[in-house]
Structure 1
Amino acid sequence: MTVLPAAPVGPLRLVPMQRLTNGGRWRTEAMRSYRMPVLLWFTRGQGRITVAGRTRGYGAHNAVYVPPRTMHGFEVAAQVFGTAIFFNEASGFEVPDVPCHLRIRDARAQGEISSLLEQLQREVHGDRPLKEQAIAHYGGLLGVWLQRQRDETEAEEPESPAMSLVRRFTEAVENQLYTGQSISDYAELLGVTPTHLSRVCNQTCGRPASELLADRLTFEARRLLLDTSLPIKRVAEVLGYNSAAYFTRAFHNRTGQTPSDFRDARRA
């Protein structure tokens, strides 16, 4: 089972969209997952976001909800602004169990989430009595806002067989990320050929299955190199590589740095 980042301290955490890219664009664009739900609220700019193997464009006043342990990544250009809200699962917020991408056109709904986030920011950065309780209640209202928008916004396109297959592929990758499975292994698990799996991945997100898997493994390798003190040989073993040398070559081919150089440069 995938080892994922720790849950936020307190009921939830708010992070400005631009701050997510601190340390490199790979922190948002590379395929990753969290063990806590995250709501992305974009207020300005546009780009592309991939969630569970499906790529779509996003723009201002888009809300993208990503459930726990769901593979995703998105572009954050210099002109993109917004907020990422990380919910602490332990706080019991009522949030959807499936991804959703909402284009919020109603000015009243836009004002509601803006007001909620402003109130949350005041509580998070202030020191008022009952701070944690207030944050939890505002977070609950944010969950209510999300559920209401799902009900009121036009229905999303039904999941096609191709979308279903790619979603199941990304779920399998998350569940078996540390097992060293190949694309052939995943295709066999899903009851299709590797060629068919790659073809449908290209249809839904413009990338073959092998690219999605390699990108996800590279993100996890970078996270382990930065967030743990595991020796590089152990990182390679944890991620299912046959040898440290093979891991180093694969990492260098995708990042232009060796694992040790990447770790030393970021920690410096």
Structure 2
Amino acid sequence: MNTRVPTYALYGEDTAEIPEFWVHAESIASRSRLHGWEIKRHRHACLFQILHIRHGKGEALIGGEWHPFTAPVVIVVPERHEHGFRFSTDVDGAVITLMSKRLPARLPAHKGIAEWLSHPRLTEMPTDHPDTPYIGETLNRIEGEITQAGNSPSPLLEAMLISTLLLVFRMGGMTDAMESGRDQVRFEQLTTLINDGFRSHRPVTFYARELGVSVTHLNRVARAIAGKPVSRLIAERIISEAKRDLVFAGITIQQVADGLGFEDQAYFSRFFSRHAGLSPARYRDRERTLLGG
């Protein structure tokens, strides 16, 4: 059942009007306390938010999944992305909200940051990281500048916001980018392994072991890059080769099955039908007819 996800200005304020201010700050407790310390799933039409959690813990709904966190944490949420939060009752932090069109265009060019800012991000700040104190102090200063100046904040505000986002990106986003690069390499290695061994019908655990990762992680990589799990990639490689053999090899269906590592032609036929949508014989007849054979 599809559930409508509300679109708010600020959470709980169901209005389509665009406010005069371009930036706003409030404590996390001031709004979440009114809703039982839970901000239910919602999105914003034109707002970009930065959550600075100084103390406490909770969960963030990002990408359709709940992610636990413990302070200190910075969470960024761009416009039109569904998100939600659950906070502990001792949470201490702030939500900084700005018109999304105001900031990203002013950010200096930096490889990867545009993509990083286009999706919600949760960055835990290690207490021993040299940038953690500075990021926290700057976000506190930003919060103070906004709340004290009303809708006429200091000209320094944008510079502080930009430097903070760049530092958070460097702390978490570059790590994400490096991991993404490693995942791309793993996926290419996985593709090579499947191409080399698909006739042996090796299980997903074999490929995970060869690549030095867990099955869960390998499936996550496959889904992120190809949109499907490893088992589906293996099956598609087998079916691709079977189709080629059925149409061009001039051999029997039994021989096709044998060449692909199937001991039982009946099982091969069921496997092929399940993934291709029709039996091997019908597929071969159809394709040869289309080729004029």
Q: Secondary structure at the match of 2:68?
A: strand
Larger radius of gyration: 2
Higher relative contact order (CA closer than 8 Å, sequence separation 6+): 1
Out of 8, 27, 43, the position equivalent to 1:16 is 27
CA contact (8 A) 1:113 1:142 kept: yes
What is the 5 A alignment of 1:72-151?
A: 72-93=83-104, 94=107, 96-105=117-126, 106-127=128-149, 131-151=153-173
CA contact (8 A) 2:58 2:87 kept: yes
Q: 1:137 to 1:25 in 2, by over 3 A?
A: same
CA contact (8 A) 1:8 1:86 kept: no
- Give the CA deviation at 1:45: 1.4
CA contact (8 A) 1:54 1:163 kept: no
More strand as a share of residues: 2
Give the Cα–Cα distance (whole angstroms) in 1 for the partners of residues 82 and 124 of structure 2: 21
Aligned-residue CA RMSD (Å): 3.3
Count, aligned residues:
163
- Give the CA deviation at 1:163: 11
Q: Which runs of 5+ in 1 are unaligned?
A: 166-268
Q: Secondary structure at the match of 1:37?
A: strand
Counterpart of 1:23, as a letter, is L
Instruction: Give 1:230's aligned residue.
Output: none
- TM-score, length-scaled by structure 2: 0.47
- Give the CA deviation at 1:112: 1.4
Q: 1:38 to 1:121 in 2, by over 3 A?
A: closer
Counterpart of 2:42, as a letter, is R
Q: Secondary structure at the match of 1:64?
A: strand
Counterpart of 1:42, as a letter, is I
Percent identity over the alignment is 15
- Give the CA deviation at 1:69: 0.9
Q: Secondary structure at the match of 1:31?
A: strand
- Give the CA deviation at 1:143: 2.2
What is the 5 A alignment of 1:166-245?
A: none
- TM-score, length-scaled by structure 1: 0.51
Question: How far does the alpha carbon of each residue in 1:4-47 deviate from its partner, in whole angstroms, 9 at most, with x for none?
Answer: 31566544222211112253237x43111113121222221112
- Give the CA deviation at 1:54: 1.4
Q: 1:112 to 1:54 in 2, by over 3 A?
A: same
